[in-house]
Amino acid sequence: MLREESHVREARADTQIHRAPRDYLETLATLYGLPLQATETPHLSQRAFIHEALYSVRGSYTALINQLSGLFRHLIEETTATLTPGADPYLVSPDITASWGEERLIRVSDALYHSTHYDSGTARLYLSPARSLAITGAPTSGSAQSVDVELLPFVIREPQPGQIKAPRGRTVEAQCTVIIDMISPETEITPPSYWRENADARTNDPFGAHILDIFSATDSERNGGQPPYPLYFTGEDFGPAIRSLFSDLLAAGVELRMRLRRTHNP
C-alpha cells in the first residue's frame, strides 16, 4: 500500500504544534507542561494556545493576551463592520451594538483597542486613549473603512496591590494580582442553581437546585416548566482548570484569578 509520507515524516509531524493530529495535542501539551486535558477546550483553541504558550515571551502582557485569545478562540465573536474614527476618541458605525461597549478588548484588523463604553444615542463606541505594548493607540481621525473585527471574550484587570501588616509593625506589599473577567453568552454557563433577589420565597419560579435535563424534548424537564426562568450565576471563581495552565506562564509572584463578569446575547 502506498503511503503519502514516510513513518519518519509522520513521527516528526506528531511533534509539531501546527501539524500534530488532534488526538496527539493533549499528549504534546502534557510534554510541554500544559495540562490541557482538564479544560475541555476545542482542539483548534488548544492548538492556538499551545503555539502562543511556546513561542511567546513568557510573563509579558502581550503574551498573556495572545495566550488567552488562543485558548478562548472558539468564543471570539467575528464580524465585519464599516468604522469611522472620531476625535474623542471613538468609533461610529451602524454595525456597532451595545455588546461592543462596557469595556471590551476589540481587535480591528491587526490593531487591539480597549473600549470604555457605548453611547446608543449616537452609535459611538468610545475607546481608551491609553497605549501600551499590547493595546494600540485609538485613532482620532480618518475615513470610513470596512474592516474585520474580533470581540475578545475577556478583559484584563490589574488592581493596585494593597498593603498587609507584617510582624513588628512593618507593612509589605500584597501579591500582584491579575484578574481575567470573562464575557460569555448565556449558553456558555452551566450553573448549579439560582437565588431570588433578597431571598424572597418562591412563587411561580422554575424549580432549581436539582438536575435538569437540558437535552429533553419535554419543556418542564429542561427549565422547570414555567417562566420566569432562573437567573443563573457562577460566583467569583471561574475556570480553575484553565487558571492552572498559566501557573508557569506568568511572571513569578503574579496571581491569576478568573471570574464571570457578565453575559450577553450574541
- pLDDT single digits (tens) 140-171: 888 888 999 999 988 888 876 666 666 666 66
* Structure confidence at residue 239 as a pLDDT band (50, 70, 90): low
DSSP 99: G
Q: What is the pLDDT of residue 88?
A: 84
Distance CA 31, CA 25 (A): 10
Measured between alpha carbons, how far is 105 from 132 in angstroms, rounded to an integer? 13
Three cell numbers at 34?
Answer: 500544559
Report the alpha-carbon distance of residue 239 to residue 179 in Å, rounded: 12
Model pLDDT, residue 232: 46
Instruction: Indicate the pTM of the whole model.
Output: 0.71
> Alpha-carbon distance 229 to 226, whole Å?
7
pLDDT tens across 177-229, in order?
788 888 766 445 544 455 566 666 666 655 555 445 666 677 666 665 555 44
* Residue 233: pLDDT band with limits 50, 70, 90: very low
Q: 127-133: list long-range contacts, CB under 8 Å, 24+ apart.
A: 127/89, 127/90, 127/91, 129/89, 132/61, 133/60, 133/61, 133/62
Phi, psi dihedral angles at 29 (to 5 degrees): -65, -40
- Highest mean pLDDT among 37-51, 111-125, 169-183 belongs to 111-125
Residues forming beta bridges with residue 81, ordered by sequence position:
147
What's the confidence (pLDDT) of residue 58? 80
What length is written for the chain? 266
- Helices (H), ranges, the chain: 7-13, 22-31, 43-55, 61-71, 219-223, 240-245
pLDDT exceeds 80 at position 95: yes
What pLDDT is attached to residue 197?
A: 65
Q: Which residue has the higher pLDDT, 214 or 136?
A: 136
pLDDT on residue 172: 58
Percent of the chain with pLDDT over 90: 11
